[in-house]
Chain A
C-alpha cells in the first residue's frame, strides 16, 4: 500500500484544510496510508551563512523521502498560500530536496466559494520551481468551497458529488504515483540540479 504524507497548509488550530485531510485519511484508509504532517512548529524561513535547517524541517523531509507521495491542503490568504506553508516549502528545499520528483496532489478548502483557487495556482508554480521540482498531478483541481458547511458532525463530506470527485481524483493520484515511479530516469540529474541551485543572497 502506498504511503502518503499529507501536509496541513495552515497553522490555525481550527482549519477546514486539516479537516479535509483527516477525512481523506479515513475515507481512503483501504487504499493508502496517509499520515498528517503539521508545519506550525517550523520557524519563519531565513537564510543564514551556514545554511542551517531546523530539526523540525529535517524530520518532515525524512517522512517525505520515505513516502510515495505528498498531499497538500492549502487555504488561501491574500490570493496565495499562507506564509507558514511558503516558509515550510522553503525549508524543505534549502539544502535538502525531499520533494524532487515526488508526486504531489494539491487540494484546498476555503470558507468562501472559490475554494483557494488562486492559492492552488500559485502553489503549482512554487512546487515546479527548480529548488523543489515536485511532480504535481496535472489537471486535478480539487477546490472545496464553503468549507465550514462542507462537513457533517462526524467530519465526513456531506455533498455526494464532491465525494465522487475526490474519489476520482484520489484514484487518479494512485495511478499517477505508479506512473511517476516509472518516470525516474532523470531523477538523479534532477536531484543534482536542485542541489546545485544556489540560494545565495536575497
Chain B
C-alpha cells in the first residue's frame, strides 16, 4: 500500500514533519509513505488560478495515485495552519484529488493540547463537498509536549505512544483498503472496450473488426514473418520459431493491448477444442466484440482490466463455472508493463488444473479427499455461478478474488 504524508507546516523546523518522517520510517515494513512538500504552494486566489502549475499538479497527482493520505497538523490559533488550509483550497477548486480518499489525521503540538482543535477543524474541512475525503473516524493521535517527544534520531521516545501509533496506522491501513474498495466500484466504468483510443502500437487505418485484420495490419506495418530473425531480450528466434514455441505451449494465451484490442492468441487447438474459444477472425477485434454483449459480462471484463490497469492488483484469477472433479479450468489475467512501468495490456492464460493435480497425485501416490473442516465449497458456490463469466470471457468478480493481488504484497 502506498500512502502520502502531508505535514501541515511550512516552517523551517516542524515537529509535525518529524512525526511524519518517523511514521514513514517506523512503518516501512507494512506501508510505503512518501512525505510531500507543500512549501512552494502560492496563496490561493480565485482571481489567479494556478492549478496548472507544476507544484499543484504534482501534489494533486501524488495524492490521486496514493491509497491514502496521512496529514500531520500543528495548531495555530485553534485551527490548522493557513499553509495547510491553502493547499486544500487549491486541491478542492479545479482539481479534487482528495475525493473519496481515505485520510488519517495526526498532530503534534508544543502544548498539552496536541492540536486537538486543529484536528477537529481539519475533519470539517476534509468533509466539505469540494474536498470529500473520507476521514478515519476516532483514533485521534494527539502528540502534546512535542519538544521532548523525540530523541536525537527523530524517533518517538515513549514506548506506549509508539504502540498506540502502530495500532492506529494498522487500523488506517485496513480502513483505507475498505474505502478504496467502495470507491473502486465506479472506476471500471471508464474502461473503453470498443478500443476507440490509440496505443503507440495501434495499427491505424485498418478496420479492427475485419476478419482479415491480421493480414491487413501486417501488411500495413510491413511485419516480418517466416525465417526473419527477431531479437528478444534473452534470445534470438525467427518468427517461425516463435510460433513453434507458442503453439506448443499447452496453455491458451491471449494478448490484449492497453487500448483493449485483442491482438493475439496462440492458436494451437481448433476453436471447438479450446477452453476459452477464440477464432482467427476475432484477432484484431476490440474487446467488446470478442465478448458476448451481456451487461454483467461486460461489467466483469471492465472490472478486471481496470484493476490491472490501475495497478491495484497485478494478477486476477478465477475458476470458470461448471468445474468439477474431472476439470478445474482457471482464467488468469496478468498486467503487462514496459520497462518504465507503463501499463501495456493483459496477458491472459487459461488452463485446466486437473491434469496437473492428477499427475501430482499419481506421482506421489495420494488421493483427494474432502476437507472435513470446510462446510461448503465456497469457491464453486451458487452465488458465484450467477455472476460467473461465459467463456471465452475474461471475466472475474474482483471482490471475490482473494487469491491474488499486488496490494497484498
Contact = CB atoms under 8 A, between A and B. Distances in A.
A147 to B, nearest CB: 15
A49 B127 CA distance: 34
A201 B14 contact: yes
A44 interface: yes
A30 interface: no
B131 interface: yes
Interface string B1-26: 00000011111111111000000000
B43 A79 contact: no
A98 to B, nearest CB: 14
B13 A11 contact: no
Interface in A20-74: 40, 43-49
Given A13-B47, A46-B83, A80 B15 contact: no
Interface residue tally on B, bucketed by range: 35 or more
Contact of B86 (A49, A87, A89, A129): A87
Contact of B15 (A78, A129, A201): A201
Contacts of B201: none
Interface residue tally on A, bucketed by range: 35 or more
B88 A202 contact: no
Nearest to A46: B10
A86 B82 contact: yes
A56 B8 CA distance: 24
Q: Interface residues of A: mostly helix, strand, loop or mixed?
A: loop
B337 interface: no
B86 A83 contact: yes
A5 to B, nearest CB: 18
Contacts of A12: 45-47
Central interface residue in A13, A78, A89, A126, by most chain B CB within 10 Å: A78
A32 B163 CA distance: 58
A156 B42 CA distance: 34
Interface in B278-311: none
A93 B76 CA distance: 10
Interface stretch (B117-125, B168-176, B400-408): B117-125
B85 A202 contact: no
A202 B15 CA distance: 6
Given A83-B44, A87-B86, A202 B9 contact: yes
B11 A47 contact: yes
Interface string A101-145: 000000000000000001000100110110110000000000000
A131 B77 CA distance: 6
Contacts of B147: 200-201
B210 interface: no
A78 B131 contact: yes
Contacts of B89: 77-78, 82-83
B85 to A, nearest CB: 4
Contact of A83 (B43, B74, B131): B43
Nearest to A13: B47
A202 B74 contact: yes
Contacts of B15: 201-202
A53 to B, nearest CB: 14
A118 B124 contact: yes
B128 interface: yes
A78 B77 contact: no
B92 A78 contact: yes
A78 B88 contact: yes
Contact of B125 (A79, A125, A200, A201): A79
B11 A86 contact: no
A72 to B, nearest CB: 13
Given A200-B147, A201-B13, A202-B15, A84 B110 contact: no
Interface of A: 11-13, 40, 43-49, 77-80, 82-84, 86-87, 89-90, 93, 118, 122, 125-126, 128-129, 131-132, 198-202
Interface of B: 7-17, 41-47, 74, 76-83, 85-86, 88-89, 92, 110, 117, 121, 124-125, 127-128, 130-131, 147
Given A83-B83, A128-B78, 4 more contacts: A80-B125, A84-B45, A118-B124, A201-B13
23 contacts: A11-B47, A44-B41, A45-B76, A45-B82, A48-B12, A78-B92, A78-B128, A78-B130, A78-B131, A80-B79, A80-B124, A83-B83, A86-B76, A86-B77, A118-B124, A122-B124, A125-B121, A126-B77, A131-B77, A200-B110, A201-B11, A202-B13, A202-B15
